[in-house]
Structure 1
Amino acid sequence: MLIEQIIVSFSIPTDNYCSSMTDGFISGGGECGALIRSINWAENPLGPLDEWPQSLRTTLSILINSKFPLFLLWGPEYICFYNDAYRKSLGNDGKHPKAMGQRGKECWAEIWDEIGSMLDSVLQQGEATWNEDILLPIYRNGHIEDVYWTFSYSPVKDESGKVAGVFVAVAETTDNLRVLNELNESKKELEFALNAAELGTWDLNPLTNKFTCNNRLRRWFGLDTESNIDLNIAIEAIIPKDREKVKEALQKSLDHETGGHYTIQYTIKNAKTGKERIVKARGKALFDANNVAYRLNGTLQDITDEIMAQNAFKESEENFRKLILQAPVGMIILKGEDFFVEEVNDTYLKLANKERKNFVEKPLWEALPEAKSLGFEHVLKKVMKTGIAHYGNEQNITTIKNGKKETTYINYVYEPLKDIDGSINRIMVVAIDITDMLESKRKIQDAEERARLATAAAGLGTFDLDLRNGQMATSERFDEIFGFDRHVVRSAYTSVIHPDDREIRINAHRRALDVGQIYYEARVIWKDQSIHWVRVEGKIYYDADHKPLRMLGTAMDITQQRQAKEELIQINQRLEIALETGKLGSYELDLRTQTLKLSEQFYKNYGLKSEAVLNYEQLLNFIVPQQKEAVIEALNQAIANGNVYEGEYQISWPDQSLHWIKESGKAQYDDHGNPISFIGVSFDITETKQLQQQKDDFIGIASHELKTPVTSIKAYTQVLERMLLKKGDIVEAGLMKKMDAQLNRLTSLIGDLLDVTKVNSGKLQYNHTYFDFNEMMRFAIEELQRTSEKHQIKEDLQEIGLVFADKERLSQVVTNLITNAIKYSPEAQQIIVHSSIEGENILVCVEDFGIGIAEDDLNKVFEQFYRVSGNMQHTFPGLGLGLFISSEIIKREGGKIWVSSKEGKGSKFCFSIPRARANDY
């Protein structure tokens, strides 16, 4: 409309202005202005320039000097004018330059049908038109081109006010539309790609904290359809444990120094359905000139299936690895051209006689070089190349075990493992040790022959019953077992079964048709009316339709076994009577069900009525709390090691009275070595314990009372010895010295008796102080060295340092051990005392080279009053209490004491105490 107003304002007729116009109105105008000036307009329907109306002149002056593409169609023949800006749209080798001054219909012949009517409408009605992105093909650049235009047709009036021409403001939009179409196409492709990839898109304005997303993302988040929401609402869709890391990642991406990249994986939960998705977000922040982020957008990908697939793959790989490690056959995975050992199980290592540390994560030929010499390399390469498995049977392998050659036979397979893409980069080797199977096969063949001989030797009779017709073939021994001296019909065999047992036989045959096996024991009556027991066992064989065909089996005369069983029952009954007479309670514990079978006397020993129902846990609760854990530990150790359990402990009866129980028992095991039951007996030793306490009290009192007179006698002896020496009575003084030595022995014995009574009553005193451990050791060694001229006591002492313990008690232990070593090595000349730190413990050993101890007696040396038995017991005096006292002292210090010995070679007594406790300063 602005162009129309300009044209109208310049079209007002003024005679003075018109009379003075020249061709200056088309001066300038670039190429098109020069073109207009060059045309001989006298030959044109418009006529010479000086005859042109002022309205035309003014319009052309505006047109040719405008930088906007303009076109003018003048007069009824629509004579064409255009400027340089429009000339570009005419291209080369086309309408330009002849279009200038040409009739419109001739110039635009190819599109006149489209534009002619529009031009006529403007010319006739005087109203402007507007057309946007109209396709109007034109001839240019040597051919017809599809060209898009946006243009306006505006009426141009002459001096009389009549519409004389059409002023065209035009812009070619072909390139714009092409770009727009390409953008639209790109957008469609992007949308297609997003849809195909099932991606959600999102956009965040960091300045307003507003968040927008596409419909897919709204569905995932469970959001309403609003286009803009607060970021915090979207954050709420993220599971709580992932929210902080998402916030941190968002904040980091808005920092210009990070490059604005945003990549993170997290889990979202639909606010409406509760469905969870694992998603991966990618985005990029945009920054302004001040490096402030003003936009962050990106995509969100649902990777739930991918993650689950990855987890499933990892789980599958882990299960595969566990399968290999736990497989009962040898398995190994080899990878790559070097056959790198990726995984191997213990069964394979045992088969190859290799250690894991020298095998895994190494090439096979380095871990198992002998396999290469056997030709396995060629086979493995062939499997890796062809992908065809290789099988080997009864391959013999020679290995060195315990310094001896052993030959093992294996069946093996080299199985290629394909990757997802079908390529082969790994081989699974499965090796099965068939040495035992081959040996078993040979044994079976031998056994079959022996079975034929053993059947007769064992007195077994055999039978073959045809279940289709009832015919039965029997051996001679079978006939004898049933009391016949020849083969008879089947009914004759069944007729001799005891009337009371015939139902047993019938039920066994019926059951055999269901389970495929027959077993029963029954009595048969021979012709002489003697009764015999028989055991019949057999198996049914079927045809392809699982119909029973034959029953094969054996018969055995078990008359003697049944008689023995009856006798055993009677013996057990007598044993029960004997146990009850001796007040021995018996029990049987089922270790699988923890149920108990208790004798009448066992109930009495626990102060219970016989109708009481107990399980194992309830029985253990009778033991006093301070002893319960030790009893359980000892029982478990006996069961685990297959040893006899022996123990003494206190129990509390229902009436709260305390009683002492002595118990012994042993576990029974199945064919696989698994414990199934524990059988034991118990005895109430409360009275014995009371007598023992009385004895200990008496010994304690007697020892205490003896100590004073012995001390006095010792003093008198020493005085008499000195007096006799002064008188020169050397012989009598020597007797006094010997008497003093005997008094020292008596004092030591009294001291041991006192210590034993204190140990048994828990009253042995301990005084813990800090002291130098090796200094204590050296003092004890020096004191004992003075008493023994024959033996040299050698020190092998490592630095221990200060310890916190009872110095006198530990010195007592060391003294006891060295004294014993001297006593029991009369022919030896050397005793070695060792001390060292072993891990968390202080270790002390006293080694002698004397008579040694029998292996059967090693577990008794630390018991009360134990002494060397046999011919030597009178050679070495003493009460046998020193080692018992030493053992109790070491236990009190939290340590342990033990002995290793060989008869005739000597003994080595050792004890250890915790280092941490000893060095607690």
Structure 2
Amino acid sequence: MNLGFISKGGECGTLIRSIDWAKNPLGPIETWPQSLRTTLGILLNSKFPMFLFWGPDLICFYNDAYRPSLGIEGKHPRAMGKPGIEVWPEIWEVIKPLIDQVLSGGEATWSEDQLIPIHRNGKLEEVYWTFSYSPAYDETGESAGVFVTCTESTPKVKSLKALSESKDELEFALNAAELGTWDYNPLTNKFTCNARLRHWFGIASDTEIDLSVALNSIAESDRKKVNEAISKAVDYPSGGNYTEIYTIINSKTGKERLVKAKGKALFNDQNIAYRLNGTLQDITDEVAAQNAFKESEENFRKLILQAPVGMIILNGEQLFVELVNDAYLNIAGKSRSDFAGKTLWEALPESKTLGFDNILKNIMKTGIAHHGNEQPINLIKNGQRQTVYINYVYEPLKDADGSINRIMVVAIDVTEMLESKRKIQDAEERARLSTAAAGLGTFDLDLRTGEMNTSERFDEIFGYKHHVPRASYVSVIHPDDHEIRLNAHRRALDIGQIYYEVRVIWEDKSIHWIRVQGKIYYDGDGKALRMLGTVMDITQQRNAKEELIRINQRLEIALEAGRFGSYELDIKTNKIRFSDQFNKNYGLLPKKKLTYAELLDFIEPDFKENVVKAINNAILEGTIYQAEYQIRWSDDSIHWIKESGKAQYDEKGIPLTFIGVSFDITETKQLQQQKDDFIGIASHELKTPVTSIKAYAQVLERILLKKGDVMEAGLMKKMDLQLNRLTNLIGDLLDVTKVNSGKLQYNLTHFDFNEMVRSEVEELQRATEKHQIIENLEEVGLVYADRERISQVVTNLLTNAIKYSPNSEKIVVHTMIENDNVVLCVEDFGIGIAETNLNKVFEQFYRVSGSMQHTFPGLGLGLYISSEIIKREGGKIWVSSKEGEGSKFWFSIPIQRPIA
């Protein structure tokens, strides 16, 4: 028995072969008609979901692609070969009329983006389908069954829903004068009409349809002139006017009407028609005769032409186009004449350049189908080059003798779905970058259930290490601030937005200020559904503001804590968009637009080159950009800006956009300058009296020693040592003010680096009795730098090593050459530094915190001054440490080249 038509077919083909058909109303397979065999051969070997109802009992068949819609533990495999009413009792009242319509000779049904929940992954999921019920013919040309073709459109529907919460529906209603109205989109070939016209045409669907469906309601004798009139109207030189008289036939009742159509086409800036709409007037009393037309075509051709997906049949080794449907023409952006009597490569030469010729030849040779997803193809559509993405299947079609002479191509345009998906991803990435750059936590509150989803940063701001129930977040709000939160939530229900600032108490009893901002989203009836928003830790800003108020005696400092301006730069085009707050930061009026180059011109010349370089490096290296710089407003006032941002990349790593945020830190910079000025003045004024006191102490010490007053002389000696400490502290304060103002002097000379190190070691070794300073010096030669400043750094590192090693007796000094740099390392075995504080040790005024603060006194300026000296010498300074085990402080400066 020849079972070639079901010899493959995957799991479903195996299932069909396993059934005892002698006990089925269809009878043994060998008695099945050729039409059923042919239809099943197409169905089982297709990668698209397909279903078939056959015979008087509507026996069910389906392929592997359709199998998931029957559920993981659902109707499969028992549905195969069973009558439809047994398989689908729960929806039989819905689908039976559709089946009857097709079997009675009616048109094929069409449903687009229909919600049909199915079982997948052990649960019921909402899945959307686009499907068609088409007649399946027997050898006599009569409808013997119903062929169901379908494809899942869930990604497209969900993407469109995510992009827009609502869609405006456009309707043209001219009830007066009893006119039918219609609207045609030449770009999409979609056609809509009002209820009166649908009634005249016998169209059940109230949604947009292909123009071909509407044209099918026109008498065949008039259809050509109507097509020509439409084509002429959408041609720009015609002026867009459309007037025609023709006969329409109701597809359900057969009633004929003589109608007069009038319309006008609208054109875009490229003179391409994007809309043709108008009216239809019944100018006859009644047209009694029905022009029944139905072309006698083979069943397979009818199935192809009525399919809702793009399909084309290629014949012979040269791959001549035997048949092509409208859906395929629409995908290719071609007319039917472009394919008539031509090979595929003549009609679509771009396909050959993509390597499809070898694929098709291999299918002809092996009989093995080929499919692909999201294949990009460049096509000329509406006179413009476009890139479309398709999912496709190449299916070999076998003749009765098993030979392969034809290939069926099935294609679906998924461009819109992919574009929607990309837009959602872009929006999510922009939001993520913005919130990450600003240190924001995010939340999503379901106002119906009270459930709330939060980000990790949100949890951290509330003092938690992981997500907790909503009540826990509320519980840590300061008792005095609960009323603020409640009032903000009540007000949000009225105005649709929420904003408040409150204190939260962490588990360690520390108090933190937070700012909550959000927006409420509503359903179609205006009922509040969700609240989306952000939370920011504004503790530092609030504390700074309160301290400034205390220091300046009721001087109110307007800190727009967390009020950041944002911008988005298109890296390819250099077009930039920014927020109103960004305009405020730059002293611009709201909504003022600038180019990227114009925006950079606001930056003061001393900063501009470094800012541009930092942005470019961040884009190149994929790092976060941070900078502080001065800008000049239009009124010539100078302002400080703190800015950060990050680039966004495509899947190939190519930068697309740069997203950043800015803060106005002018007031902070001014306060820093005032503090530096005060320290500089105070240090300078203290230096003279301290020097005089030191001189008096030394004179008194010598006088007392001559008198023999040893005890009193010892006290003067101790006082002199304390004055030395005070002198060093004053020196540090003077140095730091000079560093900050750029006035620290450097005297560059050639000197032996190791000789300088030995000198400083010898000096400090005499000053410490407990610690032994071990030299581990490699030969490094001469360097060209400021000897006094470099020795100041070495002294500071050795002094710190001795100070912070109270229970250790050994300090090791290393020198070496690495990568054309002289490197020095001071290694101690003392208290060490916590990992969280390593990035702070070179900051101004940083000191050991907690109970150790008074054990190791000092201003915390030595390492800051040292780091600035090393940077000025073109070198680097860094630290490695482990708490309780000691530290290693390193610095490097360039090797001096021999003098010519």
* TM-score bracket, shorter-length normalisation: 0.3 to 0.5
Length-normalised TM-score, structure 2: 0.41
Rg larger for: 1
Length-normalised TM-score, structure 1: 0.41
